[in-house]
Each structure stands twice: as structure tokens, then as C-alpha cells.
Structure 1
């Protein structure tokens, strides 16, 4: 791909003002999001199927992990096989949290019953919260200091080591998580290559204070700014990923009006076409965008982008989204699951939540309990099948990044992609060394 740039400085000669054509570096790209695209949309089915499929998948994953951690010292039993009290064993099951402050439709109906309504809350953690472990047939209450009720959420599958007491509760001595799994060797690149991550463009907003920053971002990606040396660096941007919030960002709690979408559709299409003309663009939807709210979200409808779809470099992708760029596996979402886990736990840091999700080996454990998702039947599409090299979450309050290191040498670059509308900031990841930094367009 070619894009034209010009040098412009006070001491430049006539030769310096001649347009220079720099070739955009291209990396091999493969979309690995098929499991999100092919999810069944049969809403006549119950949500019990996804929990059953999730548990069956993690039984296969956890058994070798258990053997490595605890050897052959303890039997792996199902809840219905518990017979001997106070005998140590291992149970694999799904965690469920009883939470006093958890929103309930019955509580929401209290207005109609003329009862004092539940106060509006953004976090639903209470000191009385408790945990149970359940499988296909039974459930049992968990106690013990080895598992912190405030550091987990409903839907996480784990293995617990302990014993059933006389009062029928299970005392946990230790916990085994699935871990992030095997990671394929990271590629060795001779030169720098960059992936741009941006989210929360909020282009349907009637406030135009961030539009100038959007134009600066477009000029920057196009190579229309800086010296020739800097423009050569910009030619190393191999892909731009927009992680949700294209039409509306998460800070806008009001519902997106149809008239706002219609009036902004042309602007969004023009922006996407302009970016796609100079660099490959992957466009993910978010919960506030005009697409189905249930995860996994399907790509935007093509009719919204009559100009952008003319470019082969323009890709409408799912949310969550997984792809391989030059040998680096990238996985991420537009941020719904991270925000939801923060609501139902005492984890306030997005990076901490993302580390937990890798340990749990699951993108959205609270689906379908508190995050809407389609009633999957045969499999759980949110299980992390392969350990990524880059794991991102969009629409964060601020930019943040860290390196996650697994117990068998996995290295994962964690990126909290900031909301562009409020921060005017994007994230860049160097594929050569997984370094990450932010850039602000103010």
C-alpha cells in the first residue's frame, strides 16, 4: 500500500518539497474469530447449555494441570461422588456468587409494588457475599481462606482441593486455575512493526470537541505529519484496530438514538474509508453501537459503509475479536466483560482483571449471568483456546499496559485501550519486542 507524504521545514530545499511515496509495510493477516461468527442464534434454547459446555471444556483443560500441580495425591471427584467426610479430594466445578446487592428483576418491580426501590449502584459487592461450586447435578457451599470471594466472579471454572465437612460445606485448602495455556513461539522480526489500537471514537456525539483530534489521528496514520524520518516510521504501522465505541462510547449512558446513527453514518463511513485507503483497518462493534447487544457481537452491517467496503483493507469484525498479525496472536474485546467483572468484585484495576481472565482462561466468565450473550449450545466461544501475544480491552478510562508472564514462559502484552473521545489517546504496540506506549492527539 502506498501513501504520499511531504517534507515541510524552514531550511528545506526544492528537492525536499517533492512528494515522497513511502510503501506501507504489510504483514500476513489471518482472522481467527470464526467461533464468534458461527455462534448459534437459536433463542429458544436455555442458558444451561453454555454452562454445561464450559464445564466439559474445562474438565479436559484442568485435569492435566491438576496432575502437574498436585500429582496423583488426590482423587478427582464429582459432587455426587462425595462420600467420606473430612477426606481430601479435588472437585472441578463452576463458581457461583450469592450477592445481596446483585440487581434483580424482582427488585426492579418494587416501584410498582410501592415498596422502597433499590438505590442506584455501580458496584454490587457486599461483605456477606458467598461462594458455591456447582456441576451438572449439584452444588456445594465453599468456605476457607484459600479462595477470596471478592477476587472471583460467577461463571469461572476451577478445581478446588479440600474436603466436605460434617455440616455439608466444602473447606477449600487450595485452588487450581486453568492458566492461559500454551503459546506458540513469538516471531523474530528484523525491524519494528506497529499495531495501532483505538476505541471510543463516539462519532455520533453532538459534541464536536474531539473531531479535531480525529482529524489529527487520520493525518498521522496517513503520513501527512512530521519529518521524512518520522514518516518512514509511520509506514511501519501495519494495522489499525478500532475496539468498539465507533458511534457511541461507554461514557454516554443514554441510549443511542436512531436519528443520531443515521446522521453520523456518513461521517463514520468517510473516516473508515480514509483510514482503509492508507492502512488495513479492523472495525469492532461495542455495546453502544448499532448492532446486536448480545456477545459475541457480529460485525457491523455492510450497508453502513458504502465507501469503506470498496477497500479490501477494510474489515468488519466481531466483538470479541481474535487474529494473527505477522505471527503474533491478538485477542481482545471492546471492554464489556472487564467492566462487568469490576462491578461484581473488588478488583478496580483493568489490568488486574485482565490478568485474572488469562488465569481463568476465559474472555467473559460473567456471560450469560450479568452480561447478555446468545444461548450457545455445543460450545462456549469465550474460552481462550490459544494464549495470545497481545491481549487488549477497549473503552478504558485511561491508557494502561503491562506484561503478563505465565508459569511456562508465556509473555502477553496487556493493553487497556483508552476511550479516544475523552482522552484523545491511542495505544501502539511494537510487534518486534511487544513494547507498548500511548500517543495523544490534543
Structure 2
């Protein structure tokens, strides 16, 4: 058993996050995905974070705890993304000029996790592969990356896909905003000191 002091120390960051997410969910739809260091299952696809972690924000119907990877549509714009483990694992075993090149490869291969299950933990599916990209997204993102990067990719059928590397917010204080009309994106920097 953890001492109550240790429990409080562990729960305090989640409590602060819930306060922030509650303020956001009060005004706009909000999806949250688990990442590699979150209280969720380790293997992909990661299941949604338990709503009991977010007692304030979970009261809003605009708040959704989602799987990783996650696919959703907003104003007829299809988004597909991961919390970054799939791209990080590719980087360990192959070379590319940047993270966006790894993302482009997975999109062209139509597979989000080409190294799973060999070097990336995943649930053993026998009837289907949940990592197949069945339809081309308009925006493909990877979270928890070292820095913000973006590129517009033109597909073989002339479709446009915005690739976005989203940096670790806890280290950079940077969030990414995508314009749904033209798929342009930019960063928002928050003024808190990050160490």
C-alpha cells in the first residue's frame, strides 16, 4: 500500500489536468488519448483512459476518452493519429530524414504499426488488423514527438494529407492548431516554464 502522502503526490498532476480539461470541455469538444506513460494498457491499441481519472471533465458530453490509435471526423475532415509509439519504434530500426518521413511511409504502406508485434507490443488479433489504414485521412498526426514538424503530402489519387508531428506538451508547452478549411497548421505556445 502506498502511503497517503505518496498517493496524493501521484494523483495531484491528474487532478490538475482534470481542472484544465474541464475548462476546455466546457467550451469545445475534447478527445484525449493515452500515451506510452499513461495509466492505460501498454500494448497497442491502447484502451481509453478511465473516465474516473477525470471526474470534472467527464461530466461534459463534449469530453471523450479515446483509444490510441484514434480516428475521428470533424466538419468532414478525417483525422487519424497515434500517441507516437509507432513512429518512435520505426526510428529505432530504420533511418529517415525526419519523423515526417516515417509517418509518410506508414501512410503509403497503409499500416500504422509495421513493427508490431515484433518490436512494438500489440494485442494479438486473429481476425483483423486494427492498424490497417482503410481510408486516407485528411490529417495524420503523431503525438509525443521531439519537435513540431508538418508537411503536406499529395497521394497517388491527388488527395492531400497534412502530416503533423505534435511535440510533447509537458516538455515544450506547445499545442498544434489545424485550420479545417485549408489544412494549414501552426503552433500555440503557452507561457508557463517547462523544465
Q: Common fold, TM-score beyond 0.5?
A: yes
Change in CA separation of 1:408 and 1:261 when aligned onto 2, cut-off 3 Å: same
Shift of 1:259: 6.1
- Give the unaligned 5+ runs of structure 2: 1-5
Q: Would the aligned equivalents of 1:298 and 1:319 in 2 still touch at CA under 8 Å?
A: yes
Shift of 1:289: 0.3
- Kindly provide the CA deviation profile for residues 27-86 of structure 1, in whole angstroms up to 9, marking residues without a partner as x: xxxxxxxxxxxxxxxxxxxxxxxxxxxxxxxxxxxxxxxxxxxxxxxxxxxxxxxxxxxx
- Give the unaligned 5+ runs of structure 1: 1-256
Distance in structure 1 (CA, Å) of the matches to 2:169 and 2:51: 24
The aligned counterpart of 2:14 is: 265
Q: Would the aligned equivalents of 1:299 and 1:318 in 2 still touch at CA under 8 Å?
A: yes
Change in CA separation of 1:343 and 1:396 when aligned onto 2, cut-off 3 Å: same
Shift of 1:437: 1.4
1:335-354 to 2 correspondences below 5 Å? 335-354=84-103
1:37-436 to 2 correspondences below 5 Å? 260-436=9-185
Distance in structure 1 (CA, Å) of the matches to 2:31 and 2:7: 24
Distance in structure 2 (CA, Å) of the matches to 1:300 and 1:288: 12
Higher relative contact order (CA 8 A, sep 6+): 1
Higher radius of gyration, 1 or 2: 1
Aligned pair count? Answer: 186
Distance in structure 2 (CA, Å) of the matches to 1:405 and 1:308: 38
Q: CA RMSD in A?
A: 1.4
Shift of 1:348: 4.8
Distance in structure 2 (CA, Å) of the matches to 1:385 and 1:340: 22
TM-score if structure 2 supplies the norm length?
A: 0.91
- Kindly provide the CA deviation profile for residues 260-301 of structure 1, in whole angstroms up to 9, marking residues without a partner as x: 542322212211111101111101000100111110001011
Distance in structure 2 (CA, Å) of the matches to 1:439 and 1:399: 11
